[in-house]
Amino acid sequence: MGVEICVEGLTKSFGHQVIWQDVSLTLPAGQISVMLGPSGTGKSVFLKTLVGLLKPDRGSIVIAGQDITELREHDLYEVRKLFGVLFQDGALFGSMNLYDNIAFPLREHTRKPESEVRRIVLEKMDMVGLIGAEEKLPGEISGGMRKRAGLARALVLDPEIILFDEPDSGLDPVRVAYLNQLIVDLNAQIDATFLIVTHDIASARQVPDNIGLLFRRELVMFGPREELLTSEEPVVRQFLNGRMQGPIGMAEEKDAAQVEQELAQIDEVAAPAVMTPRLLPSTGIDRPDRWKDIARREQEAVAK
Ligand SMILES: Nc1ncnc2c1ncn2[C@@H]1O[C@H](COP(=O)(O)OP(=O)(O)OP(=O)(O)O)[C@@H](O)[C@H]1O
């Protein structure tokens, strides 16, 4: 079972540039959460802060009973073992084949014999559909395969929490669909806590239990998927519908009068909020108990 992450009053700046302030949210154990936000709103900085690579100015991050913002480097190292991170490009070593790339954290952080390393590596490669590609070099495979290899590597230490930094970037829509299914299936199988940073609205609508949105240096909203998909909050509505009309501008915030005018226009042609169905785990994968609640919440949202 994954662990809960409880963030309270978190603020981060670089010099005089405040990235976000007073962010509070709880990532529930074992659930999938997505963090959205326009470019440059500090989503990657948020991931790096959670894993202890960046220190916040204020606030706390409690993981498994410990506030990691107060830990010294040696103790942080232990906490980091709870995390698996899938970086944007998979962050594989170009000169190592996939087998050695995926075995790397096991060889680096454990003293497991090679026979055990082999068992684990092949198990994780099987989970992400990469059996048979052990000898391939990262440069010889597609972007989608590189992401899956990065994911297999993030899994080998059996993490309680997995952070995904734009897992869908650079992938075509079909590969994104396969990757989303893999994420949902893995979550049902290993029950870890997942946090995904993405720009892909279709993924954000279908994959998570919870959605958060960063804008104007603040967490505008964080809550169950159904709540955000049906929210009337202008920023949430604009972002989840991928519209130009609303408070979010091309390069900066718009002035209030323009926003008001645009929102009035939207209301004239307002379509009802669409409740995208949740992506289900594949047939044959046992669903964790919380899926009963998910189905109930979805029905309630549709009935509204
Ligand atoms: N180490 C750093 N030192 C100084 N500024 C930084 C550092 N890391 C990030 N920033 C700044 O923090 C801001 C947020 O960056 P971040 O990469 O987290 O945004 P993002 O929301 O992930 O963007 P995108 O969606 O485009 O990937 C940017 O203005 C960036 O320049």
- The residue contributing the CA closest to ligand 1 atom 8 is 45
CA of 272 to the centre of ligand 1 (A): 34
| pLDDT, averaged across the chain | 86
Per-residue pLDDT reduced to its tens digit, 74-94: 888 888 889 999 887 668 899
Atom 27, ligand 1: residue with shortest CA distance: 39
DSSP string, 95-132: TS-HHHHHHHHHHHH----HHHHHHHHHHHHHHTT-TT
Query: Per-residue b/e over 159-170, b at no fewer than 16 CB within 10 Å?
Result: bbbbbbbbbbee
Q: pLDDT digits over 286-303, tens only?
A: 888 888 887 787 777 777
Residues in the chain: 304
Per DSSP, the three-state class of 63 is: strand
Q: Mind giving me the DSSP string for 257-284? A: HHHHHHHHHHHHTPPPPP-PPPPPPPTT
DSSP state of 255: P
CB-defined site of ligand 1, < 6 Å: 14, 19, 37, 39-45
CB 227 within 8 A of CB 236: no
Q: What is the pTM of this model?
A: 0.88
What span, in angstroms and rounded, lies between the C-alpha atoms of 88 and 255?
33
Task: Report the separation in Å between the CA atom of 39 and the middle of ligand 1, taken as the mean of its atom positions.
Answer: 8
| 28-32, 68-72, 200-204, 292-296: least confident range | 292-296
Measured CA to CA, the distance from residue 42 to residue 47 in angstroms comes to 9
pLDDT digits (tens, 9 = 90+) for 217-227: 899 899 999 88
Ligand 1 nearest-atom number relative to CA 15:
4
Q: Say if residues 10 and 20 touch (Cβ distance below 8 Å).
A: yes
